[in-house]
Amino acid sequence: MTHTPHNPDHGPGSKVTIEQIAAVASGAAGSDLAQAVIAAAARDPHVGKVLTSFTHAVAAMRGDAAFEPPVDAVQRAKQLGARLAPRRAAQRHPLAVLGEAFDRAGAVVLEWINPDNGLALAGVRDDRGADLFEAVVASAQITIRAERTTSQNGIVRLVGEITRDDDMPIKAVLAVLDCSGIVLSTDSTDSLSMFAIALPRDSFEVVVSASAPDGTVHPTIVLPLGPDSPMNTRRGGSSE
Amino acid sequence: MSSFEPDPTLIARCRKGDTASWSQLVDRYRRLVWSVIVKHHMRSEDAEDVFQHVFATLVSNIDEINDENALASWLVTTTKRRCWRVTGQSRKSAERARSFESDSERSLDPVDTRDDPVESRAQLEKQLVREGLERLGGKCKDLLEALFGAGSEPNYTLIAEKLGIRIGSIGPTRARCLEKLSAILGRLGFSDTASASITPAASEDEE
């Protein structure tokens, strides 16, 4: 960058400094200086290029703070990544397939606890408009099919079945935990392998512990439900 | 200059489960995502849900990103699609959303130009400047953000106090910092997209 000598009178043909160009681009210059710099820019392509560059940079920066999302929304996005990202490190772990499946489900299941918009879980099928979830968990040799439903009294439940690969019923205990690990609701599969478990608004994750009639114990499955801070806690708060 | 980690580096670390890199990624793109959401005039709770959804989709699909340098474009496209889907009020928006239904929402293609390309370009240019500021770092970044970020008339006294500099040095420092930022933006290709016209800053304040 070539700095031209400062000339305080800003008269026609005067040189302009980098500070003066910056002042004009920033909108901090008076009309006399602005005219002098614009005139200099018209005469000298180098000045014109600098002025244009500064002006566009300033325009892009101006008011950018208005696009700052709510702090808690940013925090939740970070927490979600903090919970889900480390699972990817254990790619060869026997539960990797299961983990990835539920990671995806968990990302979408954010919508479960937002009944207002009518969307629901979609899970690994990537059919985000559906209320259905299905996961074939190869490492645990089980299949989970579930549907989110809202009962007439407004309680949101996860209703579904857990079966072995050969469609045989499986005995499983399900628990919904909050972010502190406190059990909010529990259920167990019936003789047909069906279950119906409530998803209170503070729900954080669903834990499924299954065992087959022959005594086979399947790996415990943890289904993440959303960010650490339950979404309902911000409903009444300020978003800005 | 600050130690700026490029997107491919952060993405690679995120894939390995590095939560600090994920935080950096969220910080880097939070304003871009939010700026797209803001333009859709959503209810605050819907806006926050879209914000969560976009980053949730990103973390879920980070293994499938093929072009790590096109992350900003992908975020813009994903956010718009999500906004259209959630709002779904105007016929135009609904038609746009349907036109995208055939594409996977998780598609990691570069920016889709079927919507307003001028608006998309402006959003990406702003992101480029944010990246430029991040690369610039230090007091220059703080000064430029203090001077221009708020959008209102800057209070030089407060800025000088906050940054621990004399009021009289704000002008010269501003010039030096703009010069450095301009050089960084040039390397990032910002000048390729900027208009060549010479106009005072005041006429370009509005988006």
**Å between B42 CA and nearest CA of chain A:** 12
- pLDDT of res. B32: 95
Kindly indicate the confidence band of residue B204, based on its pLDDT and cuts at 50, 70 and 90.
very low
- Report the alpha-carbon distance of residue A9 to residue A15 in Å, rounded: 10
Number of Cβ pairs < 8 A linking chain A and chain B: 221
Kindly indicate the confidence band of residue B144, based on its pLDDT and cuts at 50, 70 and 90.
very high
Handedness of CA A122, A126, A127, A133 (dihedral sign): negative
Range scoring the smallest mean pLDDT among A22-36, A48-62, A205-219, B5-19: A205-219
pLDDT tens readout for residues A51-110: 999 999 999 999 888 899 999 889 888 887 777 666 554 443 444 445 545 544 554 444
- Across all residues in chain A, what is the average pLDDT? 69
Which residues of chain B from 14 to 53 reach within 8 Å of chain A, CB to CB?
Answer: 14-19, 22-23, 25-27, 30-35, 37-38, 44-49, 51-53
Nearest to A223 by CA among A199, A206, A203: A206
* ipTM for the whole complex: 0.76
Kindly indicate the confidence band of residue A8, based on its pLDDT and cuts at 50, 70 and 90.
very low
Of A70, A74, A239, which is closest to B26 when you measure between CB atoms? A74
- pLDDT of res. B111: 40
- Report the alpha-carbon distance of residue B148 to residue B202 in Å, rounded: 12
- Report the alpha-carbon distance of residue B47 to residue A66 in Å, rounded: 14
Q: State which of A11-20, A176-185, B17-26, B93-102 shows the largest mean pLDDT.
A: B17-26
- Report the alpha-carbon distance of residue A213 to residue A196 in Å, rounded: 21
pLDDT tens readout for residues A114-157: 444 433 333 333 333 335 566 666 656 777 777 777 776 777 77
| Rounded mean pLDDT, B178-202 | 64
Angle, helices A96-108 vs B44-61, to 10°: value is 160
Which has more confidence, A127 or A202? A202
- Report the alpha-carbon distance of residue B47 to residue B187 in Å, rounded: 34
* Contact flag A67-B31 (C-beta cutoff 8 Å): yes
From chain B, pick out residues whose CB is under 8 angstroms from the CB of A74.
26-27, 30
From chain A, pick out residues whose CB is under 8 angstroms from the CB of B104.
126
